[in-house]
Amino acid sequence: MSPPHVLVLTGEADPHADHIRHLLAGRGARTTVFDNRDYLTRAHVELAYTARGLTRRLLHTESGTLDLDTLTALWWRRPTPPEAHPALTDPSVAAYAAQESVNLITDLWEHLPCRTVPARESVFRRAAHKPSQLMLAAELGFEIPETLIATQADALWDFHNRHDGHIVTKPMGKPWVGNLAGGHTVTRHCEFVSARDLAYAEALRFCPVIAQQYVPKRLELRVTVVGRRVFAAEIHSQESNRSRVDWRLYDIEVTPYGVHRLPDEVAQRCLAMTDRLGLDYGAFDLVLTPDGRYVFLEINPNGQWLWIEELTGLPISEALCDLLLEGA
C-alpha cells in the first residue's frame, strides 16, 4: 500500500507548513509543497478528457510528476497567485495570461477527490465574510458586539454618540494596504475611534469599515477548531497597554498566555459554526468580559496557530496531522 500523500499549497517561508511537513514525515506520510505562483513558470498542469469524462489530472513540477487523483489530502495553506511567464513583456498580455492561469488553477483545486483543509477555496473564501459571520454567530447563540457597517458619516456619528464614544473600527477583510507611494505599507487592526477619526468620517463613502461597540475584556481567547477538536487559549491582553485593544499588536514578553477551560456550550457553538460554514478548521477570536460573558468577534478560516501552540503547549499541529491523514 502506498503511503499517505498530502499536497501543501503555500508560498515561500512558511514555518507552519515546514512544521507540519516534519510531523507528517515522522508518521510515514509523503508531502509535496506547491505554490500556485509557479504555474507556467516552473510547473504545468495536464488535464485530459475523453467523451466519457476526465481521464488524467497531473501536476508536472521540477521535482517530478504528481498524479493528483492519488492524493490523501490537500492542505490549502497560503499559496500566492499564478504569475505570467517572464517572456510575456506586454503588460496587458501578461495580465491576461495570469488571469487565465488563476481560472484554471483555482478550479483545479476545487474538484480533487480527497479531503481539503480548511475547505475548498470557494467555501472558505465565503466563510471569511465578516457580516455573514456575525449573523450566523448570533443565530447560533453567541453574543456579538453591537455593530454598524455603513458608508455614511452621519451613521458613524450617531453610532458613536449612542455608545458615548466607546466604539472601535476594524477592516472588512485584509488589514493592510501595500505598494503605496514610496513602497510603504499601511496596517490597521482594531482601533478606538478618536475625535480626529470622526473629523474624517466623510471618507467612509470611499470604503466601508466595521464599527463596533467596544467590549470590555477580562481575557481574549483564541479558540482553534481542528476537525471535531477544540483548543482554547487565553490571552491576558489587558496586562499590556500595547495589546489592550487588539492582541495582534503583540507584547508577548508582558502578556501571559495559557490554556483556557472553555464552557461546553461555547465549544459546541464553535463546532456548530465551523459545520455551518463548511470548514474543517477555524480560528475564533472571542472576548471573556469581566462579568463572565463570552462574546464572538470573528473567525479566521485559515488563521495562524503555531505561535499559540508554542506558548501554551496545545497540540494543535498533531490534531491537524490527524485531520490530514484521516481515512488514508
What pLDDT, on a 0 to 100 scale, did the predictor assign at position 328? 64
The closest of 130, 119, 105 to 44, measured between CA atoms, is 105
Q: Looking at this protein, which amino acid is placed at residue 193?
A: V
First to last CA, the chain: 11
pLDDT mean over 170-199 = 77
Q: What angle do CA 129, 149, 172 make, to 5 degrees?
A: 35
Does residue 185 have a pLDDT over 80? no
Does residue 25 have a pLDDT over 80? yes
What are 203's three cell numbers?
471618507
pLDDT tens-digit map of 275-327: 999 999 999 999 999 999 999 999 999 999 999 999 999 999 999 999 999 97
pLDDT mean over 187-208 = 82
What pLDDT, on a 0 to 100 scale, did the predictor assign at position 249? 73
Query: Taking the mean position of all CA atoms in its chain, how far away is CA 23?
Result: 22
